[in-house]
Every structure is written in C-alpha cells, then in structure tokens.
Structure 1
Amino acid sequence: MNEIEEALVIGDISEGENIEIPEELPCIAVRDIVMFPSMVVPLYVGREPSLAAVDEALKGERLVVIVSQKDPDVDEPTPEDVYHVGVVAVIMRTLRLPDDRLKVLVQAVARAKVVEFVQQKPYFLVRIEPLKEEEPDKLDIETEALVRSVKETAEKIFALRGQLSPELNTILDGISEPGKLADLIASHLKLKQSEAQELLEAFDPRQRLKKLYRYLLRELEVATVQAKIQTKAQEEMSRTQREYFLREQLRAIKKELGEVDEHSQEIEELRTRIEKARMPKEVEKEALKQLRRLEMMHPDSAEASIIRTYLEWLTELPWRKQTKDKLDLKRAKAVLDEDHYNLEKVKDRILEYLAVRKLNPKAKGAILCFVGPPGVGKTSLGRSIARALGRKFVRISLGGVRDEAEIRGHRRTYIGAMPGRIIQGLKQAGTNNPVFMIDEVDKLCADFQGDPAAALLEVLDPEQNTAFVDHYLGVPFDLSKVMFIATANMTDPIPPALKDRMEIIYISGYTAEEKLVITKKYLLPRQIKEHGLKPEDIQISDETILKIINEYTEEAGLRELERKIAAICRKIARRIAEGDKGPFRVTRQNLHKYLGPPVYVPELEQETDEIGVATGLAWTQAGGEVLYVEALVMEGKGNLILTGQLGEVMRESAQAALSYTRSIAKNWGIPKNFYEKYDIHIHLPAGAIPKDGPSAGVTIATAMVSALAEIPVSKDVAMTGEISLRGKVLPVGGIKEKSLAALRKGITKVIIPEKNLKDLEEIPKHMRRKIEFLPVRHMDEVLKIALLPDAAKKKKRKASRKS
C-alpha cells in the first residue's frame, strides 16, 4: 500500500475534529520535508532535542508540532532557523533502531502557527494557534472547474509516474473540498521546500488550489518529458538486453555442443600474443587497455575491427627481436668485394662501422647517404651491406611521395588508417635492427598535405629516433638500432636540415676499364643465367665489350650496358631455340648484327685542332659529360649572342669572359675596338638540353680568345673552372665525374683549378696515371696550355705561299 492510500485509510483523524489540541506542545524541527494535514510520514529522529520532544509527547496525548528547517544543513536549529507555520501531528507508532535512532510514524491532523517558543532546552516547547479551515458548503462554477482541472492534471501526472491505481483514482474522485484536495495532492508532488511551505501557509482553500494548479501544470510538462526519456531508454535497454540474452544463449548452446566461442578465443589469443611480444611497459599498458575495450564490444562493430587491427600491428612489430651482427671484418670485406667492384671508400666506411660495433655493441645505427648518378649500384650496395652484416634488408622508395603520413602514418580516427612506411618496413623485416634503405630521398615533394622530408628529420637522427612515435601506433618505437642508408642522384634538392643529419658518400661513375671488369664478373654471367644460356654458348672478347661500352653506351652507370648485353643474349637464345648450335662468337666485326650500327661515334676521331672550339667538362645528374664550346666572330656592332639553352649563371660567365678578353686583347694581337666592329656568337651544341653553372667560364673564355686571335685550340686538352673578372680560375665541383667523362672520350690532358688538387684523392690511382692533370691559377696559364700559336703561324705561312 502506497503512502496516499495509507494516509486515506488511517485518515479517520482529520483536521483535529476528534482531538483537542492544547495550547503548548513539544516541537520537532525536520529537514527537507513539509508536512500537510492528513499526511502520514515515517520520521527518523536522531537529534537529542527531537528525541526529548518525542518522549515528552508520548507521556501525554501523543501530540507534537512539526515544523520545517529553513536550512537543512543546520544541526542545532534555533527559533530563527525554522518556519513558524507547521502541523500538529499524532504519533501513531515508534520503533527503536540499533543505532539509537527512533523511527516514528506520525499523521498530521491540522495546520498550526507557532506563536511563541516557550523553551528551547532540552526540547522546543511552543505555544501554538491551530488554523482551522472552513470548506465552502457549495462550490461555485469557477471553483468546481478548478477542482476538476486539478484532479485531471494530477491523475495524468500520477499515471505518467506509474502511481495511479484504481483505488487512488476512486479516492481522488471522492474528494470535492478544495482545501483537502490541495493538501492531499501537494503532499505527493515533488515540490521544492519553499514552494511546499508556500502552499502550507496559504490558508484560503481556493488560493491554495490555484497555486497548486500552477505547480501541477509545470510538473505535468516535466513528467511528460521525463516519461518520453524513460520510454526511449527502456526501449534501448530492452533491445540491448534482448541481444545480450540471445548472445548468452548462443554461447551456452555452443558450449553444450562443444564449439568454442570465437570472440573469447580471439581475446585470449590476443592476450597471449601481447605477452609474447615483449613490449616496453608503457606500450604493453596501452595494448592491454585496448584489449579490455575490445572485450566489452560487440565483435561485429566497426570500432572493434579498428582496435583488432591496431592490436595486431602492436603484436607483430619486432619490439625486442633483432639479428646478431656478424662482426668478422675479413668475411665482411670478402662479401663486399664479391658483390661490387671497386667502391673502396664505401667499403672502408662499412668496415669502420663494423669495427666500432665490435668494440662498442651499444653504438647507435649509422645514417649514410649514397649520392651518385643512376646505375652505379647504390641500391644493390645496400643489399650487399646487409649481407655482410648478417642483417635483414628493407627498401622503400620515396620518389614522388608528397604526404607526410607516408612517413609518420595516419591517425586511427581516419578510415583505412595504417602506419607509415618506416613501421611497415620494420614489420616486414621482422627485426628491430635491419639495414633500412630509403631510396630516392632527393625526389620527395612538399605539398599541402605536409612535407615528408620534414617528417624524416626525426627518423634520420640517432639522438631523436630512440622514441619515434608513429601517428597510427601512438606509442614510441626505438629506431636507434636500425642502420639507415639513403640514396640520391644529387644533393641540391635535399633540405639542408635533412642533409645535415646524414653522412654523404659520393659514388662516381665507372671508367671503361672498370666497366669491362664489371661486365665480365657480374653482368655477363647474370644475363647468361637469366636467358637460360650456358657459359660455353657465348664467346665475347674484351675488345668487343669495350666497343659496346664506348660506341653503344654513354653513361656513368651500368644499366644501358646491361641492356645491351641482354640484347646479345636474347638473340643468341633465339638462335639456339631455332636449332642452331654454338658456341656463338661475338666480335667487333659482327657486333652490328646484334646491336645495330654504333649509337655514339667518338667525336675526337673526326676532329682536328680548330679555331674557336674549346673542349669543356660538365657535371650532370647522370655523371660527367664532355662539352664543346663554339665561338664565331662576325662583322657587326659588338653584340654577344649566346645560344644552346643556357641558364642565367652560364650567361653571366660568358659576360665575364668577354670582359676579361677585352682586358687582354693587346697581349694576343686582338684589335682594341673589336667589341665595336664584331659580333661574337657563343654556342653550346645539344641545344635541346638545358645547361647552367659557372664551371664553363674558362672554356668560354678560351673559345672566345681563340676565335678573336685566330689561334686554334688543342683537341687533346679538356678544361673546367670558373672565371673571375680579373682572370682568376676558381674551383668547381665534380672533378672525378668530369675526369671520367674526359677519359671516356680519350682525352688525356685536363686543366683544373689549382684549388681542386685535393679532389684528385677521390680518383683511383690507375685513373690518375692515365690523365695528366694541369692545375692553373690564372686564365693566362689556361691560354698558354690550350692555344697553339705555332699552328696558327704555319697556317698563315701556307696561306701566304698559296697567295
């Protein structure tokens, strides 16, 4: 039986009709409750003054005055801390509790106003004035309408709260007095204490009912919204509970049938894998946290799939797995020599790294960068280093990569997120100390999606990469044990900050003799094997290979040469497949049958010492090149014409060469006012290829002086160097590559700036012996070496005899 029904059942004591109320009664102050007449409430009495007041009331008529505290937090209220309008209540039952508190069941019988506090100790004794209400005998239309509205609204509220029963509905219908109806409904509404006290102090029944109606309308609105929320929540809970119940039933059925629950099995497998992965503590903590989340989720949800993939990545990474380095230096040198010919500088650097690892096993991984033209073996050298060290080899190419996430990974919030290429490479290797080759590091592109080169700064820094954080993983991974090797064709596009983190090792092109050895030792056996041939099926002499190198290829590397060898092997393979029997001899005379006519005819065989033509040396991305600079003098107005698709720097070098030529015109018998009477045309052949840089300044000046003084330039001399206005020859780069290019063309004399003598150490000794390097400081020295005045005098004498 609820409180409303109990109040009405016990409510034969009403409004003090059958009880004589004394003027002075003990008083109890209660918290957080306002009592109305006819209301039955259990009170828990624990304060000493309240216990004393109950004891005093039990000695007499069991009557007590109950008033509400203004502030419920006050433990020892004074007359100023309580409202002075309350109720007179009858103590119906009492029960002593184990904690010395008293449970008291009381029923309010009448309103009462406290006139005076007679005493405060040991309990409140108050003088009261009972407030008796006079209910109207007959209700006017307005009051009756108000009573009906209040009843209907109250019934709706009780129905929404689930409190409306048939008995309660009957009781509400049976009350027609405005005052009693207001008290009964107000006693069961969840009103604020101040609002309830305001209704208690409303002595006029009609006014009390009007105020109550306003509160009822507000409570109806709140109850309606609350009911909607509860309905939605119950529907959701019902659906979830139903799914859970069905899932548990399915699990129980599978268990009875002897089938294993896949979700539980997956969780246990992941837990086992996490334990076996031997992760660092903070990583393992994160993995277990995500595993607990996965355990609470439905296995088919999208979030569960993301967490499952993440945990698989964490468990498959080699947190502590590593290969043991093979620190036998002699064996490592033998492996490097077996895989690559020459490249002594690179091999020495690897052996030094091994020696350091042998003395200090905790040494951090090296960051090397191989720079050189295409086809010289940069990538294959990385594979050879891994074999020499006994490590796994991983290669990634960054050519054209423009998204920073390719390096650092995508955050897990994105659909299809995955770690960056560094973490992917380590998973592929299966160890945390592989040889990691980052190819084409100079081909990275910056974009609105970020700068990948900037993301590499942390990766390629031994001081920072001990705690590299991939965006997908969100936990640190130690990259300090990895040996990173980057490759590039040129260093200019590499950002300075990234270049500063790497040790640059330049790998130049090969001479014809080196290519011959590499062809015999590596290229030819590999192509014979790939084409299904036997070594005895093909016979090719050294002279034939040299002819292929000189007349069918023109490169610093070996790729084109290997393609030519492959073309020969293909034609021989076809002949064998058609039934011909070998061996097949490839000679200089029948080479054209396999490769067609020569592609590159040696130009110097067709040339003599000419006036106005100087041989220069240039550096390109593919290695060194021989560059012919032509100068022609014509009658005109002193114009300088430059053609051959020249860059701004080369045009400025031509202007400097012209100014220098004007300053030395008298020394070489050039007319003083030549710049007023003649036009000078400077041309560099291969006009479709852009050319730039200052290193052709010396060559342009030599061609210009030769044309103006009508003195031929030696065809056996090549030159490189930047020229200043005062004629000084300034140092340039790429001496080794340029020397190789001169040697390929059969030029044995090379003029270089004196300050470049230190660069000759990079050139192998057997090459240095073939080339005569002529160091110069000033342009005058260049002209003395390159120009042939005697040849010019002979020409003039022959011309005079003919005339």
Structure 2
Amino acid sequence: MEGRFEDTFNIPEEIVALPVKDIVIFPYMLIPLVASRSISSKAIDEALTKGRMILCLTQRDSNVEEPSSQDIYRVGTVCIIQRMRKLQDGRTRIVLQGIVKARVVEFVSENPIFKVRINIIKELPVQDFSVETEALVRTIRDNLKQMESMGKQFSQEFISLVQTINDPGRLADIIIPNLSIKIEDSQIILEEPDPIKRLKKVNEFILRENEVYQVQQRIQDRVKEEMDKSQRQYLLMEQLRAIQKELGIGGEVSDIEELRQRVLNSAMPQEAKKEIEKQLNRLESMHSDSAEASVIRNYVDWVLSLPWGIYTNDSIELREARKVLDEDHYDLERIKERILEFLSVRMMKKDHKGPILCFVGPPGVGKTSLGKSIARAMGRKFIRISLGGIRDEAEIRGHRRTYVGALPGKIIQGLKVAGSANPVFMLDEVDKIGLDYRGDPSSALLEVLDPEQNFSFVDHFIGLPFDLSRVLFIATANHPDTIPEPLKDRMEMIYLSGYTEEDKIEIANRHLIPKQITENGASDLNLSFKRSAIVEIIRYYTREAGVRSLEREISSVLRKIVREKIEKERYPSSINAVVVDKLLGVRKYNFDLKGEFDEAGIVHGLAWTPYGGEILTIESALMNGKPGLTLTGHLGDVMKESAHTALTFLRSSADRLNLNPEIFLSKEIHIHVPAGAVPKDGPSAGLAIAISLYSLLKNKPVLSDIALTGEMTIKGRVLPVGGIKEKLLAATRSGIKTVIIPDENQKDLIEIPQVILKKLTVKPVKSAIDALDIVFG
C-alpha cells in the first residue's frame, strides 16, 4: 500500500501553534498567509528554528486581536513552512502546506507565543471501497461540474485533482477549501475523523451551494426581464413624445432644454461647455428613472451652479480697512500693519500673486475673525472651512463620480456657497490635517495654494479646470511645526501672541460684554461691569492666552443675573468683584504666587505651548538611597537631558559653588514637574532645574515671585530660547515679579508691550552663575 503523505515527516509531540483568522487549513492544502500580529511573527520565527513545523488553529472570533486559549479551536492542521519573507512594513509573508490533522492535548504556554502538546488524528481506514462509496465520489464530481456550469470558477489544477483522487478523506479535504461555506462548518468537517462521513457532509454543502446558485440565476433572470420592460417603456415614451410634438401637444420647454439654455448663458470656458453638452446628450438618450441619469443630472447641476466668471468688485479703501480692523480687533498693531500692506499692494496691482497669509497663535486670539475683517474691508464674500482632522484627500479634491454618493471637495463646495469666484477663503486649523491610507490632504492643498498652478484647479468630481487664482486664501494654525514643509513654504507666517491683562479688559468692554448682554437677553436690565469685576474674572477664573474662556465666564455671570431677575425680581445692576465671586463660586486659579511655598528645591520655570505661555513648577528632593537621578512628571527626552546637564554642571562646579561633593555619591536626587499627566519637553527648563537643585543642596528657598527660562550647557552657559513674549505674558498672568532670561533674548524684548515690562523686572544672564547671584543675592 502506498505510504501516506504525513508519514514522511517527523512531527514532534510539542509544537508551536499559530492562531489564524477567517480560514480553516486542511491537510494537502498549499496556502500563502501574511502575518501582521506580533504573536504571529514570533510564532513563525520560533517554528523556523524548530524544523519549520507549526500547528495552525482557527480563531473562534476573527475580531479578537490577542486571542487566549479559549478563543481558538482545539483541532487544527500541522503545516510545514515552505517559504518565508519579511515585508518592509514589518509583516511576514509565508507559504504553508498542510500535512496532518492534530488535536491539542495541553497548552504548554500562551505568552509570548502559543506552545502546545498534541496528538496526531489518525484517519480512520476505509475498510472496503464499496459501490456506495464509488457512487458518492461520482455524485460529488457531477455536482461540482454542475456548480461550474452555473458560474462558479475553479482552477484547472483543482478539476484535475478531483477527477484523479479516489481516496474519500483526501478528496473531501481538497474540495472543502474551494467552497464558500462558514468557518464553523469547515471546522466541523476538519474534526470529522471518518472519511466517508466527511465526504457525505461535503456533498451536502455542494448541493446547498448549487441551490444558492440556482436562486441567484432566477433573480438575475427576473432583473433582466425588468430591465427589458423598462427599455421597452422608454422607447414607447419616446414615440409618444414624437407624436405629441407632431400634434403640437406639450409645447413647454423640457428640463434638458432649460439646462442647455443655462449652459449658453454661463460664462464657463468652451471646454466646460463641450463637456456639459456631451453629458446632456447622454442624459437625453436615457430613461429619466435610470440610476445613471440621476448621476449625470447631479453632475450637470453642480457644474452649472459654480460661479464661472462671477466676481465681486473689490472696494479697498485703506482708511475704511483700518476702521474695520480697529472695530473688530483691539491692539494687534503689527498684524494690522501687515494686513494693510497686503491690501495696499492689491490696490496697486489687481492680479497680484502674493503670499498666502497664515495666522499662527494660541486659541482665542482672533485668527479667524481677522479673516472675516479682511473680507469685510475688501467687500468680498467670506468662506471658512475647517481642516482639523481631515484625513482623506477627496475632502479637498473631491470624489470621482464612479463612487456612489460622490461630491466635490470642500474648495468647490465653498465656491458654490460663496456665489463668486474671488471670495476670501479661510483654511482653518491647517496644522491639524491628518494623514492615512486614503491619501495626504496637505499635498492636495499644495496646488490650491500655489499661485502658479491654481488657475486651473481640477476637482475629481467636476473634472474641469476652475480658476482659483483670484481667490484670497488665508490659513490659521496653532502650531506651525506640524505643518508640512512644502505647504509651509507657500505661506507667510504671521504670529499672534496672547493678550495682556489690559488688552483683555479693553476687549471685554468693547466687544465681549455688549455681545453677551445681547445674546443672553439682558439688554433691558441696564447692567454695568466694573473694572474690578473684569479683573477678577481674568485673574481668578481664566488662565489663557486668548479671550474665549473670558467670554464664557462673562456669559455665565449674565445667565445667573437673568435667572435672578426672573425668579426673584431682584438682581445686581452694578457688577463688581464681590458679585463675580458670589455668582461664579470658588476661584479656579491663584493669581499671586508669592508666598505659595518657601521650601528649598522648588522653583518656577516658564514654558511655551501652542496655546500660550505657562508657569512650570519644578520640585527637587534629596533622600537616602542608591545615588543617582530620578525624573518624573511625564518628561520628554530633551527635558530629561536638560536635568542631567544641570546636575553635571553642579557636580563639576561643586568647589566653585561651595557644594559638598560627597552628597552626589551618597544621596538619591529626585526631580518632579507637577501635572504628571501632561507631557512636557524642550530645553528651556534647564536653567530652572539647575537653580532648583542648587536651592535643594544649599537648603535655600527661592522666592515664589521669581521665574526662569533658558537652555543651559554643562559649562553653565545660558543659551537663548523661543516664545519669550508668551512666557512673559504667562508670568504677568500668574503674578510673577522677576523673570530671568538668557542674555541673547534681550532682542526679543523690543516686541514686548511696555505695559508688560512695567509689571516685570527682567534680568538677562549669560551663565548659571549670574542667575544664582540674582536669585540668592
């Protein structure tokens, strides 16, 4: 008797197991797999070192990414790894050949990979190849031929194998992977040891598949019959229209003629008119109820609704523009000057292809409203689209018309809403564009924002060039570092810093309070906000660079007053600090940090974030233990390096600073930056960390109204840092009196408002020694 296939392999009792999804592997089966999970890659690597043998077990639920022993079937197929290749994306491609079925007796380990002890499932011998068995094999072959005749595709190799194999078990194992059956059913057949019973079950599945194909065929015949009926109805309707035309009945202009008239009246280019005429001819030859007719009609409507050649007249008057900017925004003088320069050039050269302006700054400082003011000053329509979280290129360029529910991109949709081809188009949150397998939206924006290319912008849905060269694009961002470089290269960055306390008071009086009084229905209450009330809200209920939280708190005060008016008929008409405290409750923030602590090792640093400056408290502690430095507070790599640099400076300068060098060898130092859930990074805390450590080692407290910023080298030199204006604004918001900055940052003080410099004593230093002299006298 011929030896069985599995007898040629030495299969171990203990073997690596590979969980597979959405497939049941049978003996004799040759199948490629791609392993993307870590557990799968590790199992394959282990199997390659153990004779290339691996047990493939099917998962019960394919949605489970990290299966346990309870999530996989106990019966599978021992396979040999024929080929293996590592892909560039980290996945592993293998080719497996099934050898023999096996049952898991015991799970030896589950982590990091599955290792199991198995028993080989011996095929029950066929005692006698009876007439009934022969008839079953022939019936299966005939049923497969019937299935192929109804449209099921089989490979020629599979057909040849079915015709030549007489072994019932092997025949069943070869046929079942080629049928469209459920994983549970495949597993039942795999676990059946009797080859005759297994073959009978396979025959049942083949018969059921044939029944399904027959039902499908009947459905297709019915659909074809309906289509023929619709086509006949269309021809009859056309004949009816021709008869009505001859009899002079129904003389109204058809919809298609109306569309043709709109095309003639449109200022679209000839290329676009030819395309629309082509689509209208197709539409005319279709039945009005067909799916394609509605697609074409939708496309034509979109093209005709675009503002081809429609422009608003620019009414740029610099005095009026200055008046509009002053009405809408307080201060921001440097920004207003740049906008007026931009408008001046537009007045002198109508087709000026200048840079795209990008307003960069924290939330709530007026970036979006600046775009509205520019549109108002120029007499143009204003359109805003938010790019935050967009990950699909089609959001910019549109979907191709082949997709169901396709639409143009946000650019074309915005132009339709504007009704003119030269609006002010604001691209909000351009720094938050996403990127994934569907494309890169920022790359699609490159053509939109390039004056040398956007005169013929082609949306995938429209499929026709549209001139965007006269659109004034303005972008906004919180964090310029996340904007892709090619996109950033097409824009001029204009930075908006946070507002001072005086700025916020003026903005509240001029804009926020009148607006919220109207929106909250308090216009008839004759309310007045005292300066002390606004200061109270700014200092103790908000901590921000912009004014959004300030507006929310003002709205909250007004809502409570309106409620008191309705419920009690009594309300405070003059709102001062006492009234604010009563209405808003417990203060959210401390303004004056002086006296907050007097322990050695605690220092205030200054940090910059995309949302403005922040006060960063740095704490150091000394304790018995293993000598070394412990860092906590969710610190990034750069900030950790700054801490080590500060410690190295102090150790190398111990004699000069009169520090006991033995303390570094006998004590453990712990540095912590509170708000541990918030990530922190950057080099500008180096100087503050050094002062904190020195304060700890000398047991000298640092005054709580002092804050520091600056990068430090191991030799004690203090290097310049960014965000000086935002940091000084944060210092004034927190009641800091003295700020120590790098000497090379003195040039940045020119842009700091005098009202800020009057509240602070700014001390520039060149080295950490200079900073120590200022802090400790």
**Does TM-score exceed 0.5, indicating one fold?**
yes
What is the aligned partner in structure 1 of residue 238 from structure 2? 247
Amino acid at match of 1:651: K
CA RMSD of aligned residues (A): 2.4
What is the aligned partner in structure 1 of residue 359 from structure 2? 370
Could you tell me how far apart the structure 2 residues matched to 1:277 and 1:736 are?
53
The equivalent position to 1:531 in structure 2, one of 520, 524, 529, is 520
Give the Å deviation of 1:300.
Answer: 2.6
1:679 alignment partner, SS class: strand
1:548 alignment partner, SS class: helix
What is the aligned partner in structure 2 of residue 680 from structure 1? 669
What is the aligned partner in structure 2 of residue 270 from structure 1? 259
Could you tell me how far apart the structure 1 residues matched to 2:547 and 2:311 are?
35
What is the aligned partner in structure 1 of residue 557 from structure 2? 568
Could you tell me how far apart the structure 1 residues matched to 2:456 and 2:763 are?
52
What is the aligned partner in structure 1 of residue 435 from structure 2? 446
Is the Cα–Cα contact under 8 Å of residues 277 and 316 in structure 1 kept in the other structure? Answer: no
Could you tell me how far apart the structure 2 residues matched to 1:740 and 1:239 are?
73
Amino acid at match of 2:703: S
TM-score computed with the length of structure 1 as normaliser = 0.66
Could you tell me how far apart the structure 2 residues matched to 1:322 and 1:577 are?
50
What is the aligned partner in structure 2 of residue 520 from structure 1? 509
Which stretch shows the higher mean deviation, 628-637 or 541-550? 628-637
Give the Å deviation of 1:254.
Answer: 7.5
Verify: 1:753 aligned to 2:747, yes or no: no
Give 1:351-370 correspondences, 5 Å limit.
351-364=340-353, 366-370=355-359
Could you tell me how far apart the structure 2 residues matched to 1:239 and 1:549 are?
71
What is the aligned partner in structure 1 of residue 417 from structure 2? 428
Go from structure 1 to structure 2 and tell me whether the alpha carbon gap of 1:243 and 1:562 turns closer, same or farther (over 3 Å shift).
closer
Could you tell me how far apart the structure 2 residues matched to 1:242 and 1:487 are?
56
Amino acid at match of 1:320: G
Is the Cα–Cα contact under 8 Å of residues 361 and 478 in structure 2 kept in the other structure? Answer: yes
Go from structure 1 to structure 2 and tell me whether the alpha carbon gap of 1:267 and 1:242 turns closer, same or farther (over 3 Å shift).
closer
Give 1:47-62 correspondences, 5 Å limit.
none
The equivalent position to 1:722 in structure 2, one of 703, 711, 728, is 711
Is the Cα–Cα contact under 8 Å of residues 537 and 582 in structure 1 kept in the other structure? Answer: no
Percent identical:
54
Give the Å deviation of 1:610.
Answer: 4.4
Residue deviations 1:48-79, cap 9 Å, x none?
Answer: xxxxxxxxxxxxxxxxxxxxxxxxxxxxxxxx
The equivalent position to 2:291 in structure 1, one of 282, 295, 302, is 302
Verify: 1:330 aligned to 2:331, yes or no: no
What is the aligned partner in structure 2 of residue 656 from structure 1? 645
Could you tell me how far apart the structure 2 residues matched to 1:274 and 1:569 are?
54
What is the aligned partner in structure 1 of residue 610 from structure 2? 621
Amino acid at match of 2:280: L
Q: Structure 2 regions of 5+ residues with no counterpart?
A: 1-225
Go from structure 1 to structure 2 and tell me whether the alpha carbon gap of 1:581 and 1:537 turns closer, same or farther (over 3 Å shift).
farther
Could you tell me how far apart the structure 2 residues matched to 1:398 and 1:242 are?
48
Is the Cα–Cα contact under 8 Å of residues 366 and 484 in structure 1 kept in the other structure? Answer: no
Amino acid at match of 1:252: I
Give 1:480-499 correspondences, 5 Å limit.
480-499=469-488
The equivalent position to 1:598 in structure 2, one of 567, 587, 600, is 587
Is the Cα–Cα contact under 8 Å of residues 610 and 715 in structure 1 kept in the other structure? Answer: no
Could you tell me how far apart the structure 2 residues matched to 1:616 and 1:778 are?
16
Residue deviations 1:329-375, cap 9 Å, x none?
Answer: 01001101101111222211211111001111111264111121112
Give the Å deviation of 1:585.
Answer: 2.3
Q: Which protein shows a greater Rg?
A: 1
Verify: 1:381 aligned to 2:370, yes or no: yes
Could you tell me how far apart the structure 2 residues matched to 1:241 and 1:686 are?
75
What is the aligned partner in structure 1 of residue 408 from structure 2? 419
Give the Å deviation of 1:774.
Answer: 2.1
Could you tell me how far apart the structure 2 residues matched to 1:534 and 1:241 are?
69
Is the Cα–Cα contact under 8 Å of residues 551 and 602 in structure 1 kept in the other structure? Answer: yes
1:410 alignment partner, SS class: coil
Could you tell me how far apart the structure 2 residues matched to 1:298 and 1:702 are?
82
What is the aligned partner in structure 2 of residue 503 from structure 1? 492
Amino acid at match of 1:765: Q
Could you tell me how far apart the structure 1 residues matched to 2:254 and 2:716 are?
83
Residue deviations 1:121-169, cap 9 Å, x none?
Answer: xxxxxxxxxxxxxxxxxxxxxxxxxxxxxxxxxxxxxxxxxxxxxxxxx
Could you tell me how far apart the structure 2 residues matched to 1:239 and 1:696 are?
76
Residue deviations 1:295-322, cap 9 Å, x none?
Answer: 3333332222222211111111112111
Residue deviations 1:564-621, cap 9 Å, x none?
Answer: 1111111111122235256622222232221012111235243365422221101123
What is the aligned partner in structure 1 of residue 567 from structure 2? 578
Is the Cα–Cα contact under 8 Å of residues 467 and 476 in structure 1 kept in the other structure? Answer: yes
Go from structure 1 to structure 2 and tell me whether the alpha carbon gap of 1:272 and 1:633 turns closer, same or farther (over 3 Å shift).
same
Go from structure 1 to structure 2 and tell me whether the alpha carbon gap of 1:286 and 1:676 turns closer, same or farther (over 3 Å shift).
same
What is the aligned partner in structure 2 of residue 41 from structure 1? none
Residue deviations 1:454-473, cap 9 Å, x none?
Answer: 11111122222121111111
Amino acid at match of 2:239: E
Give 1:761-800 correspondences, 5 Å limit.
761-788=750-777
What is the aligned partner in structure 1 of residue 387 from structure 2? 398
Give 1:458-469 correspondences, 5 Å limit.
458-469=447-458
Residue deviations 1:146-204, cap 9 Å, x none?
Answer: xxxxxxxxxxxxxxxxxxxxxxxxxxxxxxxxxxxxxxxxxxxxxxxxxxxxxxxxxxx
What is the aligned partner in structure 1 of residue 189 from structure 2? none
Residue deviations 1:718-773, cap 9 Å, x none?
Answer: 11111112222122111111110001112232222222233333322332333332
Give the Å deviation of 1:622.
Answer: 2.0
What is the aligned partner in structure 2 of residue 319 from structure 1? 308
Could you tell me how far apart the structure 2 residues matched to 1:336 and 1:758 are?
28
Go from structure 1 to structure 2 and tell me whether the alpha carbon gap of 1:548 and 1:247 turns closer, same or farther (over 3 Å shift).
same
TM-score computed with the length of structure 2 as normaliser = 0.68
Amino acid at match of 1:455: A
Is the Cα–Cα contact under 8 Å of residues 592 and 735 in structure 2 kept in the other structure? Answer: no
What is the aligned partner in structure 2 of residue 711 from structure 1? 700
2:426 alignment partner, SS class: strand
Give 1:30-49 correspondences, 5 Å limit.
none
Is the Cα–Cα contact under 8 Å of residues 528 and 535 in structure 1 kept in the other structure? Answer: no
